[in-house]
Structure 1
Amino acid sequence: MIKKGIGRQIVMHYFIVVFVTLFMVEIIFSLAIRVYYYDTVYNHMYTHSTWTSDYFQKFGRLSSDRDPGYFTEMLQTFELDNTELMILSRNGDVLASSNALQADKAVQTSDVSQAVSGSVGKWIGRQPSTGEMVMAVSMPLMERGENRFVVRFVTSLERINANLMKLTLLSIGVCLAVLALVTLFSVGLANSIVKPINNIRAVSAQMAKGRFDIRIRGKYPYELGELAETLNYMAKEIVRSNQIKDDFISSISHELRTPLTGIKGWSETLTIGGFDPEETRLGIGIISKETDRLIGLVEEMLDFSKLQQNEMKLVISRVNLKELLQETMLNVWAKAEQKGIQIKLEDETEQPVTVMGDGNRLKQVFLNLVDNAIKFSHENSWIHLVVSLKEDNRVLVQVVDSGIGISEEHLNKVKDRFFQVNHQGGGTGLGLAITQQLVELHHGDIDLQSELGVGTTVLVELPLAEPEEQTGEEDLASTEGESSDE
C-alpha cells in the first residue's frame, strides 16, 4: 500500500485516467461488435427475404391459391441453416413453417405488423415457446400490388450472444492486464519522483536547522535537478554570505576600535593638562579627524540600511553632470595630491550634460568611485573621468585608473555587500553595494572592467534629462511633492 503523498496521487491519477479510458473503450467495443454481428445476421436474412418476395411476385400468383404444396416448395427453396422460415397470413397465422412444430397461436410481434403495413420488419426478443433470444425479419409477399402473405425468417441469437460474451470477457481481461501494467508503471514513476523529493526534503530540513555544509547528492532529471542545484547554490551562497558577514563584523570592529582608541587616548591625555598649545591643537585635531571617520562609517551603514528597506528618499532636480564631476575632483584633490595622483576630466560631448537626479546622492556615487580609485592606485599614477554620450539618449561616465586592478575571481563579487578584496584596506565593504543601488535608483547601470596589475574602469550610465521647456512643470510638481513628503 502506498502511503499518502505525491506518490499515491500520481498512481491514483494514472489509474483513474486509464480506467475511465479503458471503460469507455470497452463499452464502445462491446456495442460495436454486437451491432456488427447483429447487422450481419439481419442483412443475411433480409437478402433471403428479398429473394423470397421477388420469387413470389413472379410465380406465386400462378400457384399459391390452387396448390397447397406451393408454400412447402418455397420453404425448401429458400430455407437457411439454423433459421426457421415461416409463411404467415395477414393476421399472423402460420400457413407453413420449416419447423416441424408449428405454433398454434398467431404471431403478433412488431416485425409482422410492419410487414403487414408494407415495410420490412425487424424484431429482437425472446421466443415465447423456448425462451431463447431470437431475431425475426419479416417482409410482405405482394401479388398484383396487394399484400397477400408475410414471409418471416427467425434465427436464434444464443450462439451469437455466447460468442459476444466470450469476446467481451476477453476484452475485459485485456483491459485489466493493461490497467495492472499501467498501475505498476505509475508506481515506478511515482517512486522515481518521490524518492528524489524525499531526499531533497531531508537535506532541506537539515539546511533549515543551520547545517549549510551538507549538499544534495545525485543527478536528477529536469525540474528536480534544477531544484537540487538551486538548493545547493542557496546553501553555498548562505555560507559565503555568513563568511562575508563575519569578515565584516571583524573588519568593522577593527575600524571602530581604532578611532575610538585614539579619541579615548587623547581625551585622557588632554584631561591631565600641562601641554603647550601646539600639542593641544594636535590632540584636538586627531580627535576631530577620528570623529569624522566614525561618522563616515556610521553614515555608510545607515545609508545601506535605508537602501535595503527602500527608505532612501531622493530629491530630484536637474543636475549638471560635468559640474558635479568637477566638484568631486576638488573634494578628493588633496587626498590624490598626497599620493602624487593626477585626476583629469575628459569631455567628449562638447555640450552641456544634464541628468534628472539627486545631486548629493550622485556626488556620493562618484566620490566613492574616485576615492576607491585613489585608494587602490599606485603613487604618481593617474585617474581619468571620461564623459561621453550614447545613442539611446544616455550619458556614460567612465572612471579609469591605472591601479592594482581586480582579479577575475573577485570581479563579480566586489559589488556584493560586505565583500572586501583586501580586509586590511579598511572600510565596511558596503561602498560599491551602496553605489550600485544609488545608480539603479536613478534608472542607471553600473559595470566594472578590470585586469589585475593593469587597472580598473568603472562605467556608469545615466539617462539624460528631457529639454527644460518640456519638463519644467513636471520638475516643479515633483519638487513640491517631495517637499510635502518631507
Structure 2
Amino acid sequence: MDSIKKRLVLYFIFIVVFTVIILEVLIANIVRQNYYKNLEDILSNQIRVSCDLYLRYFSDSTLYDNVMNNVDTFWRQVPAQVQIIDTQGKLIMDSIGVIPPEGMDMPDVVQALKGEKGKWMGSVNYDSSQVMAVAYPLRSQERIVGALRFISSLGKVNEDIKRVESVFLLIGGIVIILSSLLSVILSNSIVNPLKEVTEAAEKMASGNFKVQSRKRYDDEVGKLSDTLNYMAEEITKKDQLKNDFISSVSHELRTPLTSIKGWAVTLKEGNAYEEEMLRDGLEIIEKEADRLTTMVEELLDFSRFVSGKIAIKKEYVDVGQVMEHIRKQLKPRSERDNISLQVEYPDDLPFMMSDENRLKQVFINILDNSFKFTPSGGSILFKAGYTGKYIEFFIKDSGCGIPGEELPKVKDKFYKGRNSKSRNGIGLSVCDEIIKLMNGSFEIKSEVDKGTETLIKLPV
C-alpha cells in the first residue's frame, strides 16, 4: 500500500527541489550578468579615459602618427588587449600583435565609428575562453578619426562565476537535505496522529467503545479525534438506552402476561365458580391484552419509522372534527382523573391535506403524557389556530413539568426521564417522526412544578 507518509515526503522533496532549481538558475543568471556588467563598466571607464586623453593631448597629430609615436600611452595602465582601428574599419595596431582574419565581424567597432559606445562578446581564435570587447570613438576636433577597442578575456571572470555558483549549489544541496529531513518530521506529525485515530477506529469497529482517540493538535486530525470520541460516546449512550429499553419493555410485557396467565390458569382449573369472578377475570384478560396490543403497535410503528417503511396517507382532514373526536374519547378519563380538559378551535379552520389517523395518534400520545403527569384537580388545554399557511396546535398542562437537563432529550429514542411514566420511551420520538413526515415542527417547553407546553405547526 502506498502510504500517506511516503507521498507527503515525496511531495515535499519535489517542491523543495523544484524551488531550489528555479532559484539556482535565477541566481546563476543574476551573478553572471552582474560579473559581466562589472567587467563592462571597468572597460568602459578605462576606454573613456583613454579617449579623453587622446582628444586633449594627441588630436593635433594624425591617428597614424600617434600610433607610431605615442601608442603606448593608450594601454600603459590598461591590462586589457588594446586595438586601434581607422575610419575604414582597418586594424592599424594591436597591443599583443594579433592580426584578425579578413572580414572579421566587429559590431562594436561599427557602433564606435558611428559615435557611440559599442560592446561585443564572442570567441576568438587566440583565446580558449570567450572575450568581451568595448569600442569607443577617437575624436580630433569634433571629428571621428578612428576607434579605440579594449578586449578582455572572460576566462577569469567565468572562473569566479563558477566558484560563486558552486557555493550556491552547495547551499542548495544543504537546503534539499535539511528540507528532506524536515519533510519526514512534518509527515510524521501528520501521519502518526492519523495512525492513532485509525487504530482507535479499528478498536471501536470491533466493539470496544471505551477506547479514546488521543488528540494531539487542535487541527483537522484533532477534530476527527473529537468526532470519533463523540461518536463512541453516543453509541455507548444509545447502546445503554437500548438495553434500558429492552429491560423496560420486558418488564412492561411481563406484567400483563403474568396477569393474563394467572387468570387463564384460574379459569382453566375451574376455580372461578362465581359469575362475578369469572367476569372480572375475563375483563382483566381483555384489558391486559389491549395493553399488550398498544405496546406492540407502538413498537411496530417505531420499527417502521426507523426502517423508513412508513408513509403519510394524504387526504382532506377536518381538523375541528378530529379535535372533537379526541375530546369525546378522553372525556371519560378526564372525569375519572378529575382533570379539566378544554378543547378550543375556531369554527373557520380550513381543511388539511394530511393523515387523519396519524394526527390522532400524535395528539392522543401527547395528551396521554399530559394526563399522566398532571395531578388530580389540574387542567389540560388543547387549542388550535390558523396562521397563514400553517395550523398551530397548542397543548398545555399544569403537571409536574420536565427538568431542564432532561428537556432536550425527551424526543430521543428510548429516552425515559427519572420521573417518567412512559412504558418504553418511544412515544414522543414516534410523534416527532410523524410530524417531520408531515413537514411540520414540534416544540416542547416546560418548567418544573409549572407544567408543560407543546406547540405543533403543520402546513395546510
Pairs within 5 Å for 1:130-141: 130-138=127-135
Residue of structure 1 in register with 2:354 after alignment: 357
> Are 1:313 and 2:315 counterparts?
no
Match runs of 1:165-314 below 5 Å: 165-218=162-215, 220-273=217-270, 275-314=273-312
Aligned counterpart, 1:461: 457
1:397-416 equivalence runs, <5 A: 397-416=393-412
Shift of residue 146, structure 1, vs aligned partner? 11
CA distance in 1, matches of 2:135, 2:217: 71
Q: Secondary structure at the match of 1:135?
A: strand
2:405 partner SS:
helix
Secondary structure of residue in 1 paired with 2:40? helix
- 1:111 alignment partner in structure 2: 106
Matched residue of 1:412: which SS?
Answer: helix
Once the two structures are superposed, residues 238-258 of structure 1 have per-residue CA deviations (whole angstroms, 9 ceiling, x without a partner) of 111111111111111122222
Q: Structure 2 CA distance, aligned partners of 1:152 and 1:37?
A: 20
Query: Does structure 1 conserve the Cα–Cα contact (< 8 Å) formed by 2:370 and 2:397?
Result: yes
Q: Distance in 1 between matches of 2:361 and 2:82?
A: 112
For residue 343 of structure 1, the aligned residue among 330, 341, 345 is 341
Equivalent position of 1:326 in the other structure: 324
Deviations 1:374-404 (A, max 9, x none): 11221221111233455x6433322111212
2-structure distance, mates of 1:368, 1:116:
105
Give runs of aligned pairs for residues 422-441 of structure 1, distance below 5 A.
422=418, 425-441=421-437
TM-score by length of 2: 0.86
Deviations 1:180-230 (A, max 9, x none): 443344333323222322222222222111111222344531222221211
Q: Percent identity of the aligned residues?
A: 30
In the alignment, structure 1 segments of 5+ residues that lack a partner are 466-486
Contact 2:135–2:150 (CA under 8 A) maintained in structure 1: yes
8 Å contact from structure 1 (residues 83, 154) kept in 2: yes
How many Å separate the matches in 2 of 1:32 and 1:350?
91
Q: CA deviation at 1:355?
A: 3.3
Residue 278 of structure 1, CA deviation: 3.7
CA distance in 2, matches of 1:426, 1:460: 21
* Structure-1 separation of matches of 2:251 and 2:107: 114
Q: Secondary structure at the match of 2:311?
A: coil
Q: Distance in 1 between matches of 2:304 and 2:54?
A: 109
- May I ask how many residue pairs the two structures share in their alignment? 457
Quick one: distance in 2 between partners of 1:205 and 1:172?
48
Match of residue 12 from structure 2: 14
> What residue in structure 2 maps to residue 469 of structure 1?
none
Deviations 1:43-94 (A, max 9, x none): 44456656777888999996437x5443663552466632111124689764
Q: Secondary structure at the match of 1:179?
A: helix
Instruction: Check the 8 A contact 1:48/1:78 in 2, yes or no.
Output: no
249-258 or 270-279, which deviates more: 270-279
- Which whole-Å CA distance do the structure 1 matches of 2:94 and 2:57 have between them? 19
Distance 2:233 2:111 in 1: 93
Tell me the distance in 2 between the aligned counterparts of 1:108 and 1:172.
42
Q: Name the CA shift for 1:285/1:132 in 2 (closer, same or farther; >3 Å).
A: same
Q: 2:106 is paired with a residue of what secondary structure?
A: helix
Conservation of the 8 A alpha-carbon contact between 2:112 and 2:136: no
- Give the drift of 1:27: 0.7
Give the whole-Å Cα distance in 2 for the aligned partners of 1:371 and 1:433.
Answer: 14
* Secondary structure at 1:22 match in 2: helix
Identify the match of residue 82 of structure 1 among 59, 75, 79.
79
Contact 1:142 1:149 survives alignment (8 Å): yes
Q: Identify unmatched segments of 5+ residues in structure 2.
A: none
Contact 1:251 1:426 in 2 (8 A): no
> Contact (CA 8 Å) 1:115, 1:139: kept in 2 or not?
no
1:386 aligns with 2:383: yes
1:462-481 aligned within 5 A: 462-463=458-459, 465=460
Equivalent of 1:449 in 445, 450, 453: 445
CA 1:326–1:74 in structure 2 vs 1: closer, same or farther (change >3 Å)?
farther
TM-score w.r.t. the length of structure 1 is 0.82
> How far apart, in 2, do the equivalents of 1:232 and 1:172 lie?
50
In the aligned structure 2, how far is the partner of 1:258 from the partner of 1:435?
26
Q: Which amino acid aligns with 1:318?
A: Y
Partner of 1:152: 149
1:276 Cα deviation (Å)? 4.3
What secondary structure, in the 3-state scheme, does the structure 1 residue paired with 2:424 have? coil
Deviation, structure 1 residue 453: 2.8
1:177 Cα offset (Å): 3.5
Instruction: Quote the offset at 1:364 in angstroms.
Output: 0.8
Q: Within 1, Cα distance between the matches of 2:310 and 2:168?
A: 74
RMSD across aligned C-alpha pairs, in angstroms?
Answer: 3.4
